[in-house]
Amino acid sequence: MTENEERILKKIEDMAESISYNTSKGSFARDIISSVAIEMVKEEDDYSKQLDKRLIDTATGIDLDVTCADKALKRREAIKATGEVKITGVNGSIIKKGYIVVNSSTATEYEIMEEKTIENISTIVKIQCNKAGVIGNCEVGQINKFGEEYIGLSKVENLKNITNGKNIETDEEFRIRALDYIRKPRISWNQYVFEDKAKEVEKVEHTHCIPRFNGAGSVKLVITEKDSETVSEELKKKVKDYIDLEIISDINLVVEGVQINKVDIVIKGTISSDFNDEAAKTKLIEVLNNFFFENLFKQKIYYFDIVEVIQHSGCITKIGDVTVAGNRNDIALNENKLCKVNNIIINKL
C-alpha cells in the first residue's frame, strides 16, 4: 500500500478498534477497511488533480485558459508578420493583391496585400505572412522569390527586417501576465495602467511608471525598446502621444528611455578548466547582464547577489575577491537605470 493508503487505513483501524471491531490481518473488517482506504486515496488524488487544473499556478493548456477567463484574461493569439517588399519589373505591369512572395531560406510564403502598377521600374507593396508566428520574421533580403512566374515582374526583395510576427502566448508567459494582473490591480489609471498602455505601442518591451515624480498630476514612464540598448526619440513620442489620446485627466506625462549604468568588475579567482580567459569573460558578461536586466527598475542591486551570480556561472571554480566599480558595496540605482558590464578583469589566484 502507498503511504497515503497506510495513513487512512491506520486512522479507520483506530476508530474500528475503539468500538471493539477485530481489525487483524485477514479479518473481514480489515479487508473492508483496506478497500475503503484505497478508494479514499483515489478520491484525494482526483481532487488534487482537479484543483491543479483550476489554479493559475498549476493549470496548463485549455485549463489555464478557462481559469484565466474567470479574471477576464485571454491568451494572446499568434500574430502574422507584416512588412513591405520592393518589386522590380516592366513599367505598367500590375502587381495584384494575392500574389505570393517567398523567403527562400525558410520557404515561408507571404501574400501581397494591395494592388499596384509599376512605375519607374519598381514599387513598394505591403505583404503579410500566410502563417502566424515568428516564422514570418526575417532579415533584409531573405524574401527574394515569387511564388510563381508573374508577367512583367522580375525581382522582389525586402529592404527592412521584419520582426513583428509573434507566436501564441505560452503557458508560462500567460501565467506570469495573469499573476501580475492579479497582484497589481489596474484601477482608475494607476501606475499599472500606464505601464500596460505603454506596452501597447509597438517596439516597447519593458515599462516602469513613477507616479507623482514631480508633484501631483505628474507621471514619468521609463521604457525599453526591443532589440535596442537605447530608446529612440521617435518611440518616446509615440508612447506619449498614444497615452495622451487615451487618458482623460490632465496629466503631465514624461516618457524617458532607460539609462545605462556601466560598471567594471574585477574578479580574483580560478577559471574552470572548461574555459580559457576570453571564454570565461564572455560567459560572465552574458550571465551578469542577464541578471542586471532581470533587476531592471530596482533601486538597488546587492553586492552579494552579484557574487552569487559569478559563483553559479560555471566558469569560476574558486573566488578570492570581487570588486564592482572599484568597491564591494551594493549598486544604488535610480528607477530609470539599467546596470551593464563595461569590462571584466580576472586575476588568477
Mean pLDDT of the residues in the chain? 88
Backbone angles phi, psi at 21, to 5 degrees: -85, 145
Largest CA distance in the chain: 103
DSSP state of 160: S
* pLDDT at site 14: 66
Contact between 208 and 222 under an 8 Å Cβ cutoff? The reply is: yes
pTM over 0.85: no
Q: How far apart are CA 72 and CA 325, in angstroms?
A: 47
DSSP string, 93-119: -EE-TT-EEEETTTTEEEEE-S-EE--
Question: 87 or 6, which is more confident?
Answer: 87
Q: How confident is the model at residue 20 (pLDDT cuts 50, 70, 90)?
A: low
Contact between 143 and 137 under an 8 Å Cβ cutoff? The reply is: no
Alpha carbon 105 to its chain's center: 26
Whether residue 84 has pLDDT greater than 60: yes
Domain parsing of the chain, residue ranges: 3-52, 55-76+170-183, 80-157, 184-257, 259-348
Q: How far apart are CA 30 and CA 22, in angstroms?
A: 8
DSSP string, 191-227: HHHHHHHHHTSTTEEEEEEEETBTBTTEEEEEEEETT
| pLDDT digits 0-9 by tens, 89-133 | 999 999 999 999 999 999 999 999 999 999 999 999 999 999 999
Angle between helical axes of 3-18 and 28-52 (0-180°, round to 10): 130
Q: How far apart are CA 334 and CA 182, in angstroms?
A: 27
Q: Tell me what the mean pLDDT of segment 269-281 comes to.
A: 92
Question: 155 or 184, which is more confident?
Answer: 155
* pLDDT at site 140: 95
- Opening angle at CA 342, ends 339 and 346, nearest 5: 115
Whether residue 142 has pLDDT greater than 90: yes
Is 184-257 CATH 3.20.20.140?
no
Would you state the cell numbers that stand for residue 32, as one nine-digit string? 473492508
Backbone angles phi, psi at 92, to 5 degrees: 95, -10
Name the residue type at position 294. E
Q: Which helix (H) or strand (E) holds 270?
A: strand 259-271
DSSP state of 135: G
DSSP E strands: which ranges in 8-121?
80-89, 94-95, 100-103, 108-112, 116-117
| pLDDT digits 0-9 by tens, 225-244 | 988 878 999 999 999 999 99
- Opening angle at CA 255, ends 251 and 259, nearest 5: 145
Going by C-alpha positions, the residue among 132, 142, 42 that lies closest to residue 85 is 142
Residue showing cell 489554479: 55
Whether residue 213 has pLDDT greater than 90: no
Q: Which helix (H) or strand (E) holds 128?
A: strand 122-132
Contacts (Cβ under 8 Å, ≥6 apart) of 57: 175, 179
* pLDDT at site 333: 83
